[in-house]
Amino acid sequence: MDLSWMAWTVPTALFFGTIIFLLILMGVWEYAKPGGSPRVGILRFETTRGDRLFLSLLGSAFIHLAWLGLVGPDLWWALGLSLIYAICVFRWV
Amino acid sequence: MEKTFNNKAWFLVLPVFFLVAISAIIPLMTVVNYSVQDTFGNNQFFWAGTEWFREVLHSSRFYDALLKNLAFSAIILLIQIPLGISIALTMPKKGIWVPVCLVLMALPLLIPWNVVGTIWQVFGRADIGLLGYTLANLGIDYNYANNAVDAWITIIVMDVWHWTSLVVLLSYAGLVSIPEAYYQAARIDGASRWKVFRYIQLPKMNRVLLIAVLLRFMDSFMVYTEPFVLTGGGPGNSTTFLSIDLVKMAIGQFDLGPAAAMSIIYFLIVLLVSWAFYTVMTNYDADAPEKGVQD
């Protein structure tokens, strides 16, 4: 099957591979500990593991955009910041 | 009664998964791939990194269109949601007029977007259109092709005419599902019309209103066909919304990389605002019974 029209590159393949890996990881986590572990965190409403992953990914996207718009093209700092943000979301949200 | 868990049922989801994959996930992946590359056609791509994202994030054209989109969606929601609820409240709940009202309400929804644009394009013209002709004879200087305010008013009125019915039908569905016992209890307590609305009808409509707000936000934020047909983004750039700008960039200029980067930013904004609406409204719903007890 010719997928050249999709214009794949190594970085974008890695990006989507990471997201698929995260989804599989969430599936395994859910299998090991069913129920999604809902809880009310600092946002004052109930979130499940899936919600926290969604918030982490969405927030990370905006952190990267903000970094690009306000600071510069070097995104390693934005990636680091996103990881810290994701850990905070999973810990406190 | 115990629930039966059967994981084989997940196989039933597979057809939907494949449909969504073909219609949404694969195109989205392609857009992400395009956003980091440059192309001159013929399936030849050159790595550009984050250049297009920076270009979009630093362009005043993008912020200008984004601001217009946000203003348009805010105006649309502020008009259509209260208007839709008000019309639904005045609609008959039983009798021969129910199907008549429902069909009348559904009519604008059946008209395709481009036809709506064309109808209003003709309707607003001073030489052959009823609205334009009437306004001209009343001495009102109205020209949506020349005046930005007139173009905005026409697009807003057109959208209200086209889509308020959706809010009406959803609100009406919520209203007719309220059991009569609630109204009887309210009458016994001597509740005013406003209190019946505030504490019975509005909370019971919350679910359908959530869907209405989400659908209307997403639709109005992605508005394309009607303004494109009516004004083509003009006069000047006054009605160039993000979607119109995006099409100009992708198809008119064949700048696929910047257009892809802009699409992703556009998509993320829609996702963020939809999530915010969804979260606020579902949690309002979850809190409502507790508040009711406190009241």
B38-41's contacts with Cβ under 8 Å and 24+ in sequence apart are B38/B257, B39/A7, B39/B256, B39/B257, B41/B254
Strand B37-39 relative to strand B45-47, pairing: antiparallel
Asked if B271 reaches chain A (Cβ–Cβ under 8 Å), the answer is: yes
Structure tokens at A56: 């982490």
Question: Which amino acid is residue A80, in one-letter code?
Answer: G
How many folded domains does chain A comprise?
1
- Contact across the interface for A65 and B53, Cβ inside 8 Å: yes
Structure tokens at B47: 């790595």
Give the C-alpha separation, B254 to B106, whole Å.
Answer: 39
Give the C-alpha separation, B92 to B228, whole Å.
Answer: 37
Structure tokens at A12: 């974008």
User: What is residue B38's DSSP assignment?
Assistant: E
Structure tokens at B266: 């556009």
**Nearest Cβ partner of B33 from A7, A54, A73?**
A7
Query: Is residue B46 within a helix (H) or strand (E), and if so which, with residue range?
Result: strand B45-47
Which is higher by pLDDT, B154 or A5? Answer: B154
pLDDT in tens, A3-28: 788 889 999 999 999 999 999 999 99
DSSP E strand stretches across chain B = 37-39, 45-47
B210 pLDDT more than 70? yes
Q: How high is the pLDDT of residue B290?
A: 47
Which residue bears the tokens 């999973």? A90
Give the C-alpha separation, B71 to B73, whole Å.
Answer: 6
- Contact across the interface for A45 and B49, Cβ inside 8 Å: no
B289 pLDDT more than 80? no
What residues contact residue B133 under an 8 Å CB cut-off, 6+ apart?
A: B125, B126, B127
Q: Where are the domains of chain B?
A: 60-294
Q: Model confidence at A48, in pLDDT bands (50, 70, 90)?
A: very high
Candidates A82, A89, A74, A68; CA nearest to B265 is: A68
- Contact across the interface for B33 and A9, Cβ inside 8 Å: yes
This model of the complex carries an ipTM of 0.92
Q: How high is the pLDDT of residue B287?
A: 59
A37 pLDDT more than 60? yes
Q: Model confidence at B293, in pLDDT bands (50, 70, 90)?
A: very low
Please give the residue range of the domain that contains residue A62.
4-92
Question: Which amino acid is residue B42, in one-letter code?
Answer: N
First CA to last CA across chain A, in angstroms? 43
B288 pLDDT more than 60? no
Question: Which amino acid is residue B75, in one-letter code?
Answer: I
- Name the superfamily (CATH) of residues B60-294: MetI-like (1.10.3720.10)
Burial category of B194 from C-beta neighbours within 10 Å (exposed 0-12, middle 13-18, buried 19 and up) = exposed
pLDDT in tens, B168-193: 999 999 999 898 899 999 999 888 89
The residue in chain B having the minimum alpha-carbon distance to the alpha carbon of residue A7 is: B33
Give the C-alpha separation, B75 to B241, whole Å.
Answer: 14
Give the C-alpha separation, A26 to A14, whole Å.
Answer: 18
Give the C-alpha separation, B34 to B39, whole Å.
Answer: 8
CA atoms within 13 A on the CB side of A65: 18
The residue in chain A having the minimum alpha-carbon distance to the alpha carbon of residue B47 is: A9
Residues of A with CB under 8 A from a CB of B: 4-9, 11-12, 15-16, 45-46, 54, 58, 61-62, 65, 68-69, 73, 75
Q: Which of B13, B25, B30, B31 to mutate to test the interface with A (most CBs of A within 10 A)?
A: B30
